[in-house]
Amino acid sequence: MASLEENTAAIAVGADHAGFPLKAELCSWLADEGRRVIDLGTTGRESCDYPYFASAVAREVASGRAGKGILVCGTGIGMAVAANRHQGIRAANCNDLFLARLSREHNNGNVLCLGARVIAPQLAKEIVQTWLTTPYQGGRHQLRLDMIEELASP
Ligand code: RB5
């Protein structure tokens, strides 16, 4: 079961133009579900650059102002690549339920990346729901997460 802190922590959300409609739908759904949402844009369908929004969400999560982040672009790939350049961020591109569950249980993922050109809104909501409510398993997985930090290039 998710802790109270996990349920009340803010979720930072960002998207580029390709992800904007899905982000809008996810933001209003999350708010309806009683989640605290920090919407960091974009605010329309005009073409824009995903690294800017990935960085904004990653900074919000890395600083602790948000407990988790959700990023949406066309595929989820660019967002994940960009967000993972930030210290303390474990972003995973999860366009199915299995990946969403495992990215929490094994990788303690703190940023979920979605592809608006890959999945339908209903599946995206199910992925978000799974990802937000699946706990990290720790144990042997923590040793591997520690290794990632130790082995990273300076
Ligand atoms: C934008 O056309 C697209 O490249 C972007 O949304 C994303 O899919 C990048 O990974």
- DSSP-assigned letters across all residues of 18-36: TTHHHHHHHHHHHHHTT--
Q: Which of 17, 48, 86, 106 is catalytic?
A: 106
Q: Are 93 and 79 in contact (CB under 8 A)?
A: yes
Q: Which residues contact 53 (CB under 8 A, 6 or more apart)?
A: 14, 15, 16, 40, 41, 42, 71, 79
Residue with tokens 């729901």: 129
**Domain residues of the chain, as ranges?**
4-152
What integer is the mean pLDDT of 122-132? 98
pLDDT digits (tens, 9 = 90+) for 81-111: 999 999 999 999 999 999 999 999 999 999 9
Q: Mutation test of ligand 1: which of 50, 71, 79, 119 has the most ligand atoms closer than 8 Å to its C-beta?
A: 50
The architecture CATH gives domain 4-152: 3-Layer(aba) Sandwich (3.40)
pTM of the predicted protein model: 0.96
Question: Edge to edge, what strands does the sheet with 68-73 contain?
Answer: 37-39, 11-15, 68-73, 111-115, 91-93
| Residue 4: pLDDT over 80 | no
What integer is the mean pLDDT of 30-47? 98
| Residue 2: pLDDT over 70 | no
